[in-house]
Amino acid sequence: MTEYSAIFGSPVTTIGIVVKQGKLTGVDFLCKDVSPRKPRDALSREVIRQLRAYFKDPAFRFDLPLNVQGTAFQCAVWDALREIKAGETQRYGELAAHLNTGARAVGNACRWNPLILIIPCHRVVSTSGLGGYAGHTQGEALRRKRWLLTHENARIS
């Protein structure tokens, strides 16, 4: 079970924050019925402050110390995701072409993104609509993705 440094109630769902050794290592969507938990440290407080700023202004740019663990390929995809601005989307295939790989590989890297919202994998869509989100192709995950894109005034085809 993940040990959260803070649990924050947001407009889209409850969010768990993981801080280790002074760096943000995880941001997870949790069930709405999970109770909020006050931040245990200064960085968790700052993450919540920045999340609130994002929910108030979707153009807000996160600036946090990160420790992202993944393969070299996953990290390359996650770096590319951070370049997609709020209100913009990119198709899996377009991102794949940019990284000289396949769309499914990009989708798989998005699925394992440990820092949802901070690394905006919700801004990657399929040629026929939303695509998946956090490893799901229907249900609550897609509702969250649609909410985030709507919040950012992104075009959803």
The string of pLDDT tens digits covering residues 94-110 is 999 999 999 999 999 99
Q: State the average pLDDT over residues 69-98.
A: 96
Please say if the pLDDT value at position 145 is more than 70. yes
Q: Which two tokens stand for residue 146?
A: 């649609």
pLDDT given for residue 128 in this prediction: 86
Among 31, 75, 110, 121, which one carries the catalytic annotation? Answer: 121
Domain residue spans in the chain? 6-56, 72-151
β-bridge partners, 115: 27
Please say if the pLDDT value at position 111 is more than 80. yes
pTM of the model: 0.93
pLDDT given for residue 132 in this prediction: 86
- What are the DSSP calls for 65-119, one per residue? -B-----HHHHHHHHHHTTSPTT--EEHHHHHHHHTS-HHHHHHHHHT-SBBTTB
pLDDT given for residue 157 in this prediction: 63
Q: State the average pLDDT over residues 67-77.
A: 96
CATH class for the domain made up of 72-151: mainly alpha
Active site residue 121: yes
pLDDT given for residue 25 in this prediction: 97
